[in-house]
Amino acid sequence: MSTQPGRKKKRFLAPQEKYEIWMQLVRGETTIADAAESARVDRSTIAKLREVARLGALDALAQSRPGRRDRRRDVELEAAQADTERLRTALAEMAVRLTLAEGKDSWG
């Protein structure tokens, strides 16, 4: 497949490249035009990258609850606590069975 005259060959940026470009834009170290030229992509690609990164950051910040525990950790803690209680109950039942099997004579 050949490209049309005057049209650049499509180039895909790795996620790390996109992040670095976005950070340079955020810090004011580059412009969209300069970033596009150095990455050898179209300016619209850089503009889209900036918009996607902005929306992604806003979504992540909207879901973030600083100072609050992550709900996933609470689920893991609850599962561990339930498992501990199950094991405690099983151990108590086994102790009772052992006592009944051996009888009171083995106590002393």
In a domain, 6, yes or no: no
Residue range 53-67, pLDDT digits in tens:
999 999 888 888 777
pLDDT at 75: 81
Q: Give pLDDT < 50 ranges for the chain.
A: none
For the whole model, what pTM was predicted? Answer: 0.53
- Residue 2 within any structural domain of the chain: no
- For tokens 């690609």, the residue is 45
Domain count, the chain: 2
Residue 93, token pair as written in the block: 């039942």
Q: Contact 41/11 with Cβ under 8 angstroms?
A: yes
Are 41 and 16 within 8 A, CB to CB? no
55/80 same-domain check? no
Based on the fold, state whether residues 52 and 88 are members of the same structural domain: no
* Burial of residue 96, with CB atoms counted within 10 A of its CB: 0-12 exposed, 13-18 middle, 19 or more buried: exposed
- Give the range of the structural domain holding residue 38, as residue numbers without chain letter: 11-64
Say how far apart CA 108 and CA 104 lie, in whole Å: 8
